[in-house]
Chain A
Amino acid sequence: NAGVTQTPKFQVLKTGQSMTLQCAQDMNHNSMYWYRQDPGMGLRLIYYSASEGTTDKGEVPNGYNVSRLNKREFSLRLESAAPSQTSVYFCASSLGTGDYGYTFGSGTRLTVV
């Protein structure tokens, strides 16, 4: 089925470990996004890529890095995980920025102990 695929779905990390969350879309969308969702905080934008070859910081970029590998793939890396990064992470894509609706992946539930 067409859509946004995220891996892994669940992950437990120890403090200080690193990991990369993978995201791929097959809808030929130009823009891709990484959000985190915490109880009572809503969706907060970490990084986004308006088009292939560009990336920009969102509201909460500290502790994260991203790579827009190609038009389909946008990865999120935690270099040294901290308990404050325990959250549900969603990748999303859209045809363009701003005035286009987003399609979300199923999410990654990350726990840092």
Chain B
Amino acid sequence: QKEVEQNSGPLSVPEGAIASLNCTYSDRGSQSFFWYRQYSGKSPELIMFIYSNGDKEDGRFTAQLNKASQYVSLLIRDSQPSDSATYLCAAPTRSASKIIFGSGTRLSIRP
């Protein structure tokens, strides 16, 4: 089992709808989780991080963490064409020496 798993997509969502991206992780000791956005041909950009169970909101983005079920999700409200990108979930290793990335979910917002 990979340490961080994501559905590769593509996930197609109509403009204005809510996009829901999911990620599962295998290490119960993981304490923090990150969401990165990567546009085609560009480098990953950190958009959200979450440490505690529950929800964390930042503008149109909400990160949700459920440690008991070992999943973390990213909700994007009022999806815009500019949200079309690959979204990478990441979590630190047990030793916390580095972060492991999922393979990413490609999101496409259709007008």
Are A104 and B43 in contact, CB atoms less than 8 angstroms apart? Answer: yes
Are B34 and A43 in contact, CB atoms less than 8 angstroms apart? Answer: no
Residue of chain B at shortest CB distance from A59: B100
Are A99 and B32 in contact, CB atoms less than 8 angstroms apart? Answer: yes
Query: What are the residues of chain A within 8 A of B93 when measuring CB–CB?
Result: 98
Are A45 and B103 in contact, CB atoms less than 8 angstroms apart? Answer: no
Query: What are the residues of chain B within 8 A of A101 when measuring CB–CB?
Result: 34, 46, 49
Minimal beta-carbon separation of A87 from chain B (angstroms): 14
The CA of A97 and the CA of B88, in the complex, are separated in Å by 18
Query: What are the residues of chain A within 8 A of B100 when measuring CB–CB?
Result: 45
Residue of chain A at shortest CB distance from B6: A42
- Does B101 make an interface contact (CB < 8 A)? yes
Residue of chain A at shortest CB distance from B35: A101
Are B104 and A107 in contact, CB atoms less than 8 angstroms apart? Answer: no
Chain A contacts to B: CB under 8 angstroms: 33, 40-43, 45, 48, 50, 56, 58, 90, 97-99, 101-107
